[in-house]
């Protein structure tokens, strides 16, 4: 029993953290909100150059064969930076699906590009036609009627919707399920997409932890800086306890996410229960931290001139994505009771 | 105790209801916190005033109906029940007007009230400054006496809808030798005069609902002072206590939201688990309980009692109830909660997410809930200040 | 619309308050805990002499024909004092039931005695064999198989149980449902007992409000008196907010209980929904206030040398009695949804 | 990261389990916080020690097994899983012993540890005084130097089980010229010596679990000082941080309670509504999450890291989880919740109400949760003290 990441895993996290600190500042996120995505694209490309977009691809395909567990800390950092773009869909879900279920032609055409960060993948599970980043992606992988499809985005109808988090560029996708898009039929497609759902939920949970950490950092900094009645508001016990509670929620969510990463990576029994716990606690923590951070910021946090709102809105969206609390609690309930 | 409405109260309700049902715009207006929406809302406020519904509790001479407090609550219940537009005149009617009635001269009242209620002259509040929010007494804007009046200088912020308004009101330091609560004066001032710059600030929900006001030696005549020079704090406290109390949040608002929530639950029943069902019940119950609490308070007011710090309990209760209720709605909606009014697939045009964001301001504005709890502990329970 | 009690109702409350302040001190409650019930009996008798035990009886039977609403403030005071004894069963439920459903002989034998406080009634609803104060009561009124029974307690088998609140003297009752105990058959027994249940729930809610008020008073006093780090603990913001929250819960429960009293007294439509709200909010508030009061008292509150525990334990028992939160929420749910 | 137990850890678990299953008393012992129950519990502790399970992490020379931290957690999981008796020796083994290992002399360790772990000499803590609870540094008890030792005078309170114990430990002011944290010394002292009066105090749950200790010029030899004279604060902080940290509350305890709750839910399923079901799920999940959090912390400790103020997060989490879990159980039980072990109709012999009352102490003792939150805010988040 050893509940800690390896030095390699921490080094990878540090690399991602450094890249994002340099290239994905709040200004870059703010630009993406206004449709100016050059900065975010550039951060994506730098991550790709260091091999981080394709890290789950096999080494033959230009990747590092990394597991769900290896992916957690890098994804947490993308949440911390509120990085725009379909990194969950591409790195955590799409590339492994393409590799496991893509036809030779599909893999040949797309896998290397995806692993190099040059083709962005979005994934549409059965009955989930609403897909973030659909319009700006290059490839859609979709599950329809128990079969897998893989097609270039320009052959997909994408009806734009609008998220409270403008960087998410949500769209409703539809396409003709033509045989030419079909993925392999000699694999257990249903099981592979089911695994994809687990990976999506887990990866989202990791991002939620990162979002929490950043919002808490912002709130703590603000509480130290902002003075009222002649002293920093962070000296008030009500503010202290609010932020202490936020930290507790966040810090208990973290190992829960890490545990789920280990379970999925090692194929542990009841791994899906662990994934549900991860999603529930990470979503709950992020929403809770958002609320505390907003209250600590007061009216300033209530404007879009303050960066906080971009993190809060991402948190609200992700807490509901890939199974909201009700969905995952029901799954845990069936296991426990 | 008689919790039946009287015949005349019931008649009043019928009159409200039938007028509102006949006149409320059938199309939802765009948000009143945007430039175009503000103008459309003013049309509605004109109509409301002309029919005598803009300020039901005011004296008839200013366009009201001299309604009792309970009649006012009835009006609000009906207003929200029918889903009538939000009131862009509220910072005038509900915050400034009560202060005018208490401290204003006859000249001020006859000049200001009717145009305010009709929406012909619109009012924003200018309480906060960048470093004086909850700690209002630390404000730094000044007023300097000159021939025939005063010159105002300073910066105000979080002024709701001030980007679209004609006038504003707030405190300015008139005696530079006094500190904190002393030496302040309550001024009304024009937003479109020389020396005034108004910069809109987008809120969380994307509307330009706030503004910053920069004042650079802006002239206002003597007639624009409310109450006595140097004694503005007392005047302002009357306004903020009405802001914190009943006026902004009548039970009808929350009863209407609870009804909409019940309706939402029914529409999504197949995917709403029993826990969500229980939260819907909780929301409905909370709105009821808030109603009884408020009726009890209004009875005390109607019988001449001062409510004072008790109103802090209202503020904490409704603001946190409102957040919970919207959270429940979003949980029912599931992952479509993120879609806004520009989305074809949005549930109820994204109203619940918009309402949620608006609700999140509740525990912050009009005195944060931290401050309200301090007030409750110190002034109601008598716990020591330090 | 007028949401306030009359001067008469307030005067009655003041009378009860004065009697209980004099005769039902914490020492009297503590004695009752240890089986020494003389003091509590004496308080009961004084209340009876001022007419307050029999107040719901008709004037002909020596009462004041008072309504459920009139009863609320006096009962709230009995909660405030944690008065031992079956006052809810006797005054709020038993006497009206006896008067409405008792045979001439039963009424002749018992009603005057009950109204004068000389015969204490306990009530056992269908399927509720656990009855507080059974052993020390004089009369049992019971609902069995849709019929009413009224019999002297010495003809009832009472198997003693023990409550966490020792003054409740809970017992399990059983008796032979002999025709000689039958109450009137020409009345709607089921409806009358159903009304009795509403009255029991409402009266219990009123007591819960009183319990809350006393616990909060104790906690506020303690927070003012107890010093730590050189100043009263009540100066700490965390203590202030804890007690402010307790006050809010309590003060929103109060009008909810009063509303239910009015609804029951006037036969308002959906009165049972109002009763459920009253029981839910009063129970919730009492449990919440108990928890805050205990935390404020710290270790001292955790001993039975501190009076607080007697109020807390009563609150826990009453919050679950006559329909717990789950029961009443379900009833409200059926109305709302 | 490897969240599988190693072969040797699994072997350790099997060994614990089979010994415990064979030896745990089949009859529930009466509460260890009563005089008769205490004696029966000591019999059990003897047996536990003789089989080498009393203090698994101790060196073998003192009767331990030199178990790793994870093996200790495994032992605890098995201990609670099988429902073994609560440990009346815990104030010795889990609070005093770690301090002895850190600050004790060889003579002290070889004299004190084995009898402590075997339950032959029983230990109570004597931290609090009537006016020094959370503010421990304000204590007033004194120790005066005399020929060959010291004389202790003062009053200690909230001493768990001290009414039945042989010895206690606590801080005394040895330098009257110093204030607050300075000039204090950590003493071990006899409870049955001349000048000591112990008065039992009944707890909320009716057990005589607390005691007050009155000391009137009680002699203790020099050998009973732990650490240096006048430097007791540092020694005490080591104890209280172990009290606040892992030692009192291993995950196994809460996993066992969660399992019992699931079992209770199944038995009362017909009357448990879906909201209660959800709360049962929550309780189960919280115990899991607490387990992962603790495993993460224990890994850090095993790798030599100092945990420090992070342990305050454990304390807040488990203490509030424990209250919630018991509240859920009581809600499932319904109005029979009030019946205690003397009642024929009590559910599980009233254990849940008893456990609830015990749980309510969690947010109070070992540093109130208010203090823990201050620590988290100031020492982990770095917020300003004043």
pLDDT single digits (tens) A196-249: 999 999 999 999 999 999 999 999 999 999 998 889 999 999 999 999 999 999
Note the pLDDT tens digit of each residue in D14-43.
999 999 999 999 988 998 988 889 999 999
Residue D243 confidence (pLDDT) above 80: no
Average pLDDT over residues A298-318: 95
Are residues D225 and D165 part of one domain? yes
Q: Are strands A139-144 and A121-124 parallel, antiparallel or unpaired?
A: parallel
What sections of chain C are H helices per DSSP?
Answer: 7-23, 26-33, 38-49, 68-80, 87, 95-101, 104-106, 112-115, 189-225, 237-266, 271-297, 308-320, 325-336
Q: How many domains does chain B have?
A: 3
In a domain, D77, yes or no: yes
Helix (H) or strand (E) holding B29: none
Q: Which of D164, D163, D168, D153 is nearest to D224 (CA)?
A: D168
Residue B285 confidence (pLDDT) above 70: yes
**Arithmetic mean of pLDDT over chain A:** 97
Q: Which of A155, A162, A99, A108 is nearest to A130 (CA)?
A: A162
- Asked if A82 and A211 count as a contact pair (C-beta separation under 8 A), the reply is yes
Are residues B67 and B145 part of one domain? no
Average pLDDT over residues C192-204: 98
Average pLDDT over residues A316-325: 97
In degrees and rounded to multiples of 5, residue A242 shows phi and psi of -60, -45
D61 pLDDT tier (thresholds 50, 70, 90):
very high
Using CB atoms, pick whichever of D204, D369, D370 lies closest to residue C304: D204
Are residues B141 and B44 part of one domain? no
Residues of chain C positioned with their CB less than 8 A from the CB of A238? 237-238, 241
Residue B183 confidence (pLDDT) above 90: yes
Q: How far apart are CA A253 and CA A261, in angstroms?
A: 13
- Asked if C150 and C114 count as a contact pair (C-beta separation under 8 A), the reply is no
**Residues of A contacting chain B (CB within 8 angstroms):** 130, 159, 161-165, 168, 170, 172, 227-229, 236, 238-239, 291, 294-295, 298-299, 301-305, 309, 312-313, 316-317, 320-322, 324-326, 329-330
Q: Is A236 in Cβ contact with C238 (below 8 Å)?
A: no
Which of B36, B61, B243, B305 is the catalytic position?
B243
Q: Is D380 in Cβ contact with A3 (below 8 Å)?
A: no
A237: closest chain C residue by CA: C237
Residues of chain D positioned with their CB less than 8 A from the CB of B331? none
List, in sequence order, every residue forming a beta bridge with B169; answer none if it has no partner. B125, B188
Final residue belonging to a domain, choices B173, B202, B236: B236
B247 pLDDT tier (thresholds 50, 70, 90):
low
Chains in contact with C, where contact means 3 or more Cβ–Cβ distances below 8 Å, are: A, B, D
Final residue belonging to a domain, choices B219, B236, B253: B236
Q: What percent of chain C has pLDDT over 70?
A: 100
Residue D308 has a pLDDT of 83
Are residues B371 and B320 part of one domain? yes
Are residues B295 and B185 part of one domain? no
Note the pLDDT tens digit of each residue in D370-381.
999 999 999 999
Q: How far apart are CA B351 and CA B326, in angstroms?
A: 10
List, in sequence order, every residue forming a beta bridge with D145; answer none if it has no partner. D150
Active site (annotated) includes residue B9: no
Instruction: Give the CATH number of the domain where residue D49 resides.
Output: 1.10.540.10
- Asked if D102 and D157 count as a contact pair (C-beta separation under 8 A), the reply is no
B227 pLDDT tier (thresholds 50, 70, 90):
very high
In a domain, B96, yes or no: no
In a domain, D272, yes or no: yes
Instruction: Give, in order, the Cα–Cα distances in Å from B212 to each of B126, B162, B361, D233.
Output: 9, 8, 17, 54
C-alpha angle A26-B205-B171 in degrees, rounded to nearest 5: 95
Residue B283 has a pLDDT of 98
Query: Which of D1, D10, D265 to mutate to probe the A interface, most A CBs <10 Å?
Result: D1
Average pLDDT over residues C125-137: 95
B196: burial class by Cβ within 10 Å (0-12, 13-18, 19+)? Answer: middle
In a domain, B174, yes or no: yes
Are residues D281 and D156 part of one domain? no
Residue D210 has a pLDDT of 87
Q: Is the ipTM of this complex over 0.85?
A: yes
In a domain, B292, yes or no: yes
DSSP state of B16: H
In a domain, B110, yes or no: no
Residue A20 confidence (pLDDT) above 80: yes
Domains of chain A: 7-181 (1.10.540.10), 191-336 (1.20.140.10)
In a domain, D103, yes or no: no
Q: What percent of chain B has pLDDT over 90?
A: 80
D348 pLDDT tier (thresholds 50, 70, 90):
very high
Using CB atoms, pick whichever of C170, C294, C313 lies closest to residue D339: C170
Are residues B162 and B193 part of one domain? yes
Residue D197 confidence (pLDDT) above 90: yes
Q: Which residues contact B324 (CB under 8 A, 6 or more apart)?
A: B279, B282, B283, B286
Are residues D150 and D65 part of one domain? no
Residue A172 confidence (pLDDT) above 90: yes
- Cβ atoms within 10 A of the Cβ of A49, count? 12
Residue B243 has a pLDDT of 52
Residues of chain B positioned with their CB less than 8 A from the CB of C251? 293, 313
Residues 242-301 of D with CB under 8 A from C: 273, 275-276
Note the pLDDT tens digit of each residue in C173-196.
999 999 999 999 999 999 999 999
Residue D196 confidence (pLDDT) above 70: yes
SS3 labels along D3-41: CCCCHHHHHHHHHHHHHHHHHCCCCCCCCCCCHHHHHHH
Q: How far apart are CA B296 and CA B300, in angstroms?
A: 6
Are residues D226 and D269 part of one domain? no
Are residues D214 and D155 part of one domain? yes
Lowest mean per-residue pLDDT among B189-193, B268-272, B368-372, D284-288? B268-272
In a domain, D180, yes or no: yes
Residue B246 has a pLDDT of 52
Instruction: Give the CATH number of the domain where residue D251 resides.
Output: 1.20.140.10
B241 pLDDT tier (thresholds 50, 70, 90):
low
Final residue belonging to a domain, choices D201, D236, D271: D236
Average pLDDT over residues C164-173: 97
Average pLDDT over residues A256-277: 98
DSSP state of A140: E
Q: How many angstroms away from the CA of A270 is the closest CA of chain D?
A: 13
Average pLDDT over residues A129-133: 96
Are residues D334 and D273 part of one domain? yes
Q: According to the per-residue pLDDT averaged within each range, which of B177-186, C139-148, D234-243 is highest?
A: C139-148
Residue D329 belongs to domain spanning: 245-380
Residue D365 confidence (pLDDT) above 90: no
Average pLDDT over residues D51-63: 96
Q: How far apart are CA A3 and CA A6, in angstroms?
A: 10
Distance between first and last Cα of chain A: 28
Q: Is D337 in Cβ contact with C298 (below 8 Å)?
A: no
Residue B242 confidence (pLDDT) above 70: no
Maximum Cα–Cα distance across chain A? 71
B16: burial class by Cβ within 10 Å (0-12, 13-18, 19+)? Answer: buried
pTM of the model: 0.96
- Asked if B181 and B236 count as a contact pair (C-beta separation under 8 A), the reply is no
Instruction: Give the CATH number of the domain where residue B170 resides.
Output: 2.40.110.10
Query: Which of B128, B335, B366 to mutate to probe the A interface, most A CBs <10 Å?
Result: B335
Q: How far apart are CA B287 and CA B267, in angstroms?
A: 21
Residue D248 has a pLDDT of 52
B274: closest chain D residue by CA: D274
Note the pLDDT tens digit of each residue in C94-125.
999 999 999 999 999 999 999 999 999 999 99
Are residues D301 and D204 part of one domain? no
Q: Is A229 in Cβ contact with B343 (below 8 Å)?
A: no
The DSSP string of B95-123 is IIHHHHHHH--HHHHHHHHHHHHHTSS-E
Task: Strands of D238-311 (E only): list them.
Answer: none
C332: closest chain B residue by CA: B281
Q: According to the per-residue pLDDT averaged within each range, which of A229-233, B178-182, D5-9 is highest?
A: D5-9
């Amino acid at each position: 029993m050893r509940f800690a990441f390896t030095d390699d895993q921490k080094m990878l996290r540090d690399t991602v953290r450094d890249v994002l600190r340099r290239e994905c500042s709040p200004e870059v996120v703010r630009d993406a909100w206004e449709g100016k995505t050059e900065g975010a694209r550039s951060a994506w490309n730098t991550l790709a150059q260091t091999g981080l977009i394709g890290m789950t691809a096999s080494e033959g395909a230009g990747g590092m064969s990394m597991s769900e567990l290896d992916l957690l800390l890098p994804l947490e950092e993308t949440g911390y930076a509120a990085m725009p773009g379909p990194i969950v869909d591409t790195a955590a879900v799409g590339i492994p699906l393409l590799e496991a279920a893509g036809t030779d032609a599909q893999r040949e055409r797309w896998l290397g590009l995806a692993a190099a960060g040059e083709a962005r993948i979005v994934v549409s599970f059965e009955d989930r036609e609403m897909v973030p980043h659909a319009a700006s992606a290059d490839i859609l992988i979709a599950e329809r009627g128990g079969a897998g499809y893989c097609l270039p985005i320009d052959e997909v109808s994408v009806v734009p919707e609008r998220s409270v988090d403008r960087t998410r560029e949500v769209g409703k996708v539809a396409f003709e399920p033509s045989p030419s898009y079909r993925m392999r039929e000699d694999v257990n497609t249903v099981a592979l997409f089911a695994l994809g759902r687990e990976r999506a939920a887990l990866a989202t949970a990791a991002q939620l932890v990162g979002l929490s950490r950043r919002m808490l950092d912002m709130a703590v900094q603000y509480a130290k800086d902002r003075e009222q009645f002649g002293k920093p508001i962070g000296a008030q016990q009500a503010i202290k306890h609010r932020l202490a509670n936020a930290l507790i929620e966040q810090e208990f969510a973290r190992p829960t996410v890490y545990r789920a990463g280990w379970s999925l990576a090692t194929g542990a029994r009841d791994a899906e229960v662990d994934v549900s716990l991860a999603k529930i606690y990470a979503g709950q923590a992020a929403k809770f931290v958002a609320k505390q951070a907003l209250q600590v910021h007061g009216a300033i946090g209530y404007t879009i001139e303050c960066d906080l709102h971009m993190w809060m809105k991402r948190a609200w969206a992700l807490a509901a994505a890939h199974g909201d609390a009700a969905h995952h609690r029901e799954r845990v309930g069936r296991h426990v009771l | 105790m008689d919790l039946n409405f009287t015949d005349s109260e019931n008649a009043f309700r019928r009159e409200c209801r039938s007028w509102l049902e006949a006149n409320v715009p059938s199309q939802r207006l765009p948000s009143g916190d945007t430039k175009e929406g503000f103008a459309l809302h003013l049309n509605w406020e004109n109509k409301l005033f002309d029919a005598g519904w803009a300020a039901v509790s005011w004296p008839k001479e200013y366009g009201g109906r001299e309604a009792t407090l309970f009649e006012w609550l009835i009006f609000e219940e009906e207003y929200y029940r029918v889903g009538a537009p939000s009131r862009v005149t509220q910072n005038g009617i509900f915050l400034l007007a009560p202060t005018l009635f208490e401290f204003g001269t006859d000249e001020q009242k006859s000049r200001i009230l009717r145009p305010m209620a009709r929406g012909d002259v619109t009012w924003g509040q200018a309480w906060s400054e960048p470093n004086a929010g909850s700690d209002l007494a630390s404000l730094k804007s000044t007023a300097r006496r000159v021939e025939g009046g005063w010159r105002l200088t300073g910066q105000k912020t979080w002024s709701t809808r001030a980007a679209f308004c004609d006038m504003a009101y707030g405190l300015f330091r008139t005696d530079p030798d006094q500190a904190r609560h002393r030496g302040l004066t309550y001024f009304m001032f024009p937003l479109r005069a020389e020396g005034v710059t108004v910069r809109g600030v987008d809120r969380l929900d994307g509307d330009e609902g706030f503004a910053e006001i920069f004042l650079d030696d802006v002239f206002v005549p003597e007639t624009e002072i409310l109450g006595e020079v140097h004694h503005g704090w007392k005047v302002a406290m009357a306004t903020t206590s009405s802001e914190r109390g009943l006026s902004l949040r009548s039970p009808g608002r929350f009863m209407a939201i609870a009804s909409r929530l019940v309706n939402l639950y029914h529409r999504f029943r197949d995917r709403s688990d029993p826990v969500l069902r229980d939260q819907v019940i909780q929301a409905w119950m909370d709105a009821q309980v808030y109603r009884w609490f408020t009726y009890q308070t209004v009875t005390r007011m109607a019988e001449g009692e001062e409510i004072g710090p008790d109103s802090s309990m209202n503020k904490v209760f409704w603001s946190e109830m409102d957040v919970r209720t919207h959270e429940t709605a979003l949980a029912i909606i599931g992952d479509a909660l993120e879609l806004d009014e520009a989305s074809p697939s949005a549930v109820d045009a994204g109203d619940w997410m918009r309402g949620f964001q608006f609700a999140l301001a509740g525990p912050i504005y009009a005195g944060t809930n931290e401050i309200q709890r301090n007030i409750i502990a110190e002034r109601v329970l008598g716990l020591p200040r330090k």
